[in-house]
Amino acid sequence: MKITDLKCAVIGENPVVRIVTDEGIDGYGQAENTKPYLKPMVLFYKKYLLGEDPTNVERVMLKIRRMGSFKPWGSAVSAIEMALWDIAGKAAGLPVYKLLGGKVRDKVRIYNGGVRFPMTSFTPDDYADNMRKMKAAKEGFTIIKQAIGFHTPMPERVPNFFYGDVRQGPPHPTRGLLTEQGLKHVIECVIAMKSVLGDEIGLALDCGPGWSVPDSIRLAKALEPYHIMWLEDLVTGDYTPYVMADVLREITRQTSTPIHTGEQMYLRHSFRELIEKHAVNIIGPDPADVGGIAEMKWIAEYADLHGILMAPHGIFDGVIGLAAHVHCAAAMPDNYIAFEYPVARPSWWYDIVQGLPDPIVTDSMITVWDTPGLGVTFNVDAAVKYLPVGDEDFFE
């Protein structure tokens, strides 16, 4: 089998990769819906893929993996890797999880990141009300993640929040030392959420980036009585192309509240120092950024050797990305907690693909399906009408 073409089209909001072969088997991968600009980066790798046997996934990846980097190049490599595994599974007549070593679990747990309800302000009452809505969601979430602090408009909405200037621009650009009032406000919002969730549903907090080390420690220690699942991306995170393992370790070693990071990182090499120094308690790579499915599985195994837990990021990954998560999570070791559940945007994505369970999530769990490859395929007749101008031949 040989690769004869590599295509990319933005369908809805997600860039979608299609790898075509000379045996009539094709494979699909998907990038985050926040990256509609990704097509040129994907097609950059076309010349390196043509003529290769896609079922030799690692051989193909050795040609392009080192030519990726922090977003967006790592995202392009990741989507290609998903498509390669999709083909390999279809060619073997096996689901991808079988090619990763087989099931560890028949159902995989998800946590809520993608099912969101608008917030008009950021007071404790607003956070409590938002938790009530999430708690009542049909998915039956057992873990909910919510944004606080610098991951929200709090710096500009809450008076006297921090000692610094609010910046405009890329996602979460503001950072600085919190005032005593600002820190108290964050803690009060967390307590309000816990008053709704109680001990029935775990609460994780997406914090930044932007926190100083002293404030991170103060927050983590103040929340110790509330059994928070984790504090995510305190000092680094979204669109931060460096890890700062030593800084994170200073926070982690001073609190029993679990510290989490990893969604922005590309390849196992970026996780090595984080894991070996025990800089965090939980890592959250995203298969659509880290280098793909097998890369995330490798990282999970290495983290498990060091007693570090896995809670992968995935809020923007779409339904093909969801399939990648399910197959990888099925084969992960026992350090797996849950992955962040991505919701299709727009919702008509659910009408143009087939292979997902219905309902997808029951009691915060997804039953692992057994169809070959990733097990999610296009209803081409339904999907063609959503192809953008210039990509009308995507399915040809």
Q: Please give the model's pTM, rounded to 2 decimal places.
A: 0.97
Mean pLDDT, the chain, integer:
97
**Tens of pLDDT along 236-255?**
998 899 999 999 999 999 99
Residue 38 contacts by C-beta under 8 Å, 6 or more apart in sequence?
A: 8, 10, 15, 31, 72, 75, 76, 79
Helices (H), 45-199: 46-49, 57-64, 73-92, 96-99, 124-135, 154-157, 180-197
Rounded CA-CA distance 175/172 in Å is 8
Given a cut of 70, the residues of the chain with pLDDT beneath it are: none
What does the pLDDT read at residue 64? 98
What does the pLDDT read at residue 195? 98
Nearest alpha carbon to residue 295 among 57, 86, 95? 57
What does the pLDDT read at residue 346? 96
Strand-strand pairing, 107-112 and 3-11:
unpaired
Just give the CATH number of 98-373. Answer: 3.20.20.120
What does the pLDDT read at residue 283? 98
Domain boundaries, the chain: 3-93+379-386, 98-373
What does the pLDDT read at residue 41? 97
What does the pLDDT read at residue 170? 85
Strand-strand pairing, 353-354 and 377-378:
antiparallel
What does the pLDDT read at residue 314? 98
What does the pLDDT read at residue 238? 86
Just give the CATH number of 3-93+379-386. Answer: 3.30.390.10
Cα-to-chain-centroid distance, residue 226: 25
The CA–CA distances, whole Å, from 115 to 65, 149, 329 equal: 32, 20, 20
Rounded CA-CA distance 115/141 in Å is 10
